Amino acid sequence: MTAPFDRDHGDYSTREDGMSKNHSPLSQLRLAVMISGRGSNLEALLKAFTDDKTIRIVTVISNDPKAQGLRIAADHGVEARVIDHHQFASRIEFDSAVDEFLIQNRIDLICLAGFMRILSDEFVARWSGKMINIHPSLLPSYRGLNTHERVLAAGESFTGCTVHFVAPEVDSGEIILQVKVPVLAEDSPETLAARVLSAEHRLYPQAVRLIAQQKLPGYKG
C-alpha cells in the first residue's frame, strides 16, 4: 500500500527533522487534544496546566463542529480547529489533514479525550509513542463502549480508568497509569460513570506530567 502521508503531504523524514529542530520537548511539551463531544477531560487538562510553563495545550481538534468541548477551548482562550470528517472522501484523507495540522503546530503529544473516530493504522504508526488516550475501565478489561453497563452486569466490585499509549487495536497499547474506582451496590451506569469520570479528570493530567518530566520510556517524542 502507498504511504498516504507521503502521497498527500510530502516526505516523512523531512517533516520529522523539522519537528525535532524546532522545539525542545524538555522545555515545553506542546499538546493537541482531540475531542468529539462533551470535553470534560479537555477541561481537566486545561485547568491542570494553566500555570504550568512546561506543558502547553496548543490546539484542540474536533471532528464534530457541534462538540461541546469547542466552547470549553474558546473559554480558555485556546485555538480550536474543526476538521469535520464528513468533508473528506476517505478515512486516510481525514487523517492526513489532521496530521498536517499537527505538524504545522509542532505538536509533541496528542491526547485523545473522547475522540470517537477510529484512526487509520498509518496515522497511529506515524504518532506511535506520541499519542495517548483515556479509557473508562481498568484495561485490558472492558475495552470498547458501554463499559459501565458491562461492569455492573458482571457484578464487579471495582472498575477504574486507564491512560495508555495508542496502538492500532482499539483500547490497547502500553498502559501509562490506572486508578481503581469502587463499584457501589446502589450504582446505576450513570452514577458509576460520574465516579469514574472524576477519577479520569485527576489521572489524565498526571499521565501528561509524567511525559513532560521525561519519566516514561514509552514516549517517543
CA neighbor of 76 nearest in space, from 116, 118, 108, 48: 48
Which residues between 183 and 212 bind ligand GRF (CB under 6 A)? 197, 200
Report if residue 64 touches ligand GRF, rule: CB under 6 A.
no
Residue nearest to ligand GRF (CB): 114
Which residues between 9 and 48 bind ligand GRF (CB under 6 A)? 35, 37-41
Which residues between 97 and 116 bind ligand GRF (CB under 6 A)? 113-114
3-state SS, 6-67, equals HHHHCCHHHHHHHHHHHCCCCCCEEEEEEECCCCHHHHHHHHHCCCCCCEEEEEEEECCCCC
Cell of 197: 469520570
Candidate list 9, 135, 148, 201, residue with the active-site label: 135
Q: Which stretch binds ligand GRF (CB under 6 A): 86-94, 118-126, 128-136, 151-159?
A: 128-136
Instruction: Respond yes or no: is residue 23 known to be catalytic.
Output: no
Cell of 46: 486545561
CA neighbor of 50 nearest in space, from 29, 80, 76: 76
Say if CB 12 and CB 6 are below 8 A apart. Answer: yes
Report if residue 171 touches ligand GRF, rule: CB under 6 A.
no
Nearer CB in complex with ligand GRF: 120/162: 162
Report if residue 135 touches ligand GRF, rule: CB under 6 A.
yes
Distances from the Cα of 45 to the Cα of 31, 76, 214, 218, angstroms: 10, 11, 18, 21
Identified binder of ligand GRF from the candidate list 4, 25, 129, 136, rule CB under 6 A: 136
| Site residues for ligand GRF per CB under 6 A | 35, 37-41, 113-114, 134-136, 197, 200
Which amino acids are annotated catalytic? 135
